[in-house]
Amino acid sequence: MPSRTVRSSSRLDTGLLLACVLLAVVALALPDRLREPVATSVRRTVLAPLLAVQQRMESMRAAILVRDDAMRATAELTAQAMAAPGLEQENEALRRMLGLAGRLRSGFVVAEAFRPSGIVDDYTLTITAGARAGVAAFAPVVTADGLVGMVESVDPSTSIAITWAHPDFRVSAVSADESAFGIVQPHLVPGAERYLLELRGVPFRASLDSGTLIVSSGLGATYPRGVSIGTVIGELPTTERWARTYLLKPSVLPSSLSSVLVLLPSAVAAGVGNVWTDVSAADSAIRAIVAASDSAARQAAMAELRARRAVLDAAADSARADSALAGLGPAPTVRAPATTPVVPPSTPPARMDSVRRPPPGGAR
């Protein structure tokens, strides 16, 4: 049965095709005066459903194209919105790098940093500067925020550097106020705390508060003195009774690096001064000034509000007094008593420049 149905359908299709071809030949053979009326009648009868379907398909195609354009525009806007914070952070990092370069003035090489292909950890970085630029092994790698690590191997145009997250990383360190010395190494524990540092070997008599800045001490001739390493989070419990161990928050995250500075041997020998510590102190001072200005602004605003409240209270008291007086009516007029004596008409008034004399006959 199915084969017969298929055969009959194919025969019907073939017949329709032959009929269409025949009609087309007849239409072409018609004279011009009859060709247009026949074509018009065919379009209005036989081809009308097909033309309606074609119009609907064109409308659907146009709607699909408009929707695709709208989705494409939305995707581009979303991508731009997602990339904007990254670009802003990258621009901010570049501005900070330019500021660091201006403070150092010389003795460094600016390079891009990225992870080697196939490596997903934060232990090593590939730097686009090598021996041709003056980079040597054990050269410190830094950013505007602080220490990244050191160069491990050098090629003519590239270098491989290890970060502070590498298990073999060590640096002699000191607190910014020089109250405690120690050795900084990675905090080798699983989980999120893996990306922290330890300050080990601190004398037991030295106590560091949370937030204390730790910088390189300059001992060992690898890292110059004063490069920011991290800040103290808290003390770690240990079995050692003669030394303390502190947990540090690193100043730099290797996973977010795009550009670095490689210090040349001349800069390491000459030192970097207080480039990082001065910036940290300036940031702390700015935060203190902002906090003080906010406090002063709040105090001034409160004083202004109190003054306005006093003026409003005085105006209210005055209004209440006026209302009370208006309810009592006008005050009575009080006249003062006359103090001028009334002189009888028969007695002449005495003059101030005369003396009263006695009457004639000696009567007194």
- Identify the band that residue 216 occupies on the pLDDT scale cut at 50, 70 and 90: very high
Q: How far is CA 6 from CA 2, 12, 14, 210, 289, in A?
A: 6, 10, 12, 86, 90
Using alpha carbons, select from 295, 215, 209 the residue that is nearest to residue 246.
209
> Cβ distance 198 to 185 under 8 Å?
yes
Mean pLDDT of 249-258: 87
The mean pLDDT value for 51-75 works out to: 86
Low-confidence winner among 30-34, 74-78, 80-84, 319-323 (lowest mean pLDDT): 319-323
**273 neighbors 107 (Cβ within 8 angstroms):** no
Rounded to the nearest 10 degrees, the angle between the axes of helix 48-104 and helix 32-45 is: 80
Domains of the chain: 2-78 (no CATH), 106-284 (2.40.10.350)
Residue predicted with more confidence, 323 or 17: 17
Residues in the chain, overall count: 364
For residue 151, the cross-strand partners are 161
Predicted confidence (pLDDT) per residue in 286-337, tens digit: 444 444 444 555 566 667 667 766 766 676 666 666 555 555 444 444 444 4
Select the more confidently predicted residue: 191 or 84.
Answer: 191
d(CA 21, CA 232) in angstroms, rounded, equals: 91
| Average pLDDT for 8-15 | 76
CB 147 within 8 A of CB 252: yes
**Using CB atoms within 10 A of its CB, is residue 172 exposed (0-12), middle (13-18) or buried (19+)?**
middle
| Higher local confidence (pLDDT), 165 or 290 | 165
- pLDDT surpassing 90 at residue 199: yes
Q: What percent of the chain has pLDDT over 70?
A: 70
What per-residue confidence (pLDDT) applies to 221?
80
Residue 94 has pLDDT above 90, yes or no: no
Q: Which two tokens stand for residue 8?
A: 């009959």
Across 80-87, average pLDDT: 65
Mutual angle of helices 275-328 and 48-104, in 10-degree steps? 110
64-78, 141-155, 214-228, 273-287: segment of lowest average pLDDT: 273-287
User: By three-state DSSP, how is residue 148 classified?
Assistant: strand
Residue 283 has pLDDT above 50, yes or no: no
Mean pLDDT value across the chain: 76
Structure tokens at 91: 């621009």
Among 54-58, 123-127, 247-251, whose mean pLDDT is lowest? 54-58
pLDDT of residue 278: 65
Cβ within 8 Å of residue 176, ≥6 positions away: 212, 213, 214, 215, 277, 280
The pLDDT of residue 2 is above 70: no
Mean pLDDT of 42-47: 73
Which residue, among 197, 195, 163, has the nearest Cα to 182 in the 3D structure?
197
pLDDT at 342 over 70: no
Find the mean pLDDT for residues 96-113.
Answer: 83
Q: Give 171-180 pLDDT, tens digit per residue.
A: 999 998 888 9
What percent of the chain is predicted at pLDDT more than 90?
27
| Alpha carbons 73 and 290: distance in angstroms, whole number | 42
| In the predicted structure, residue 345 carries a pLDDT above the cut 90 | no
Question: For position 10, what pLDDT does the model report?
Answer: 77
Range from 182-191, 201-210, 267-276 carrying the lowest mean pLDDT:
267-276
pLDDT reported for residue 289: 41
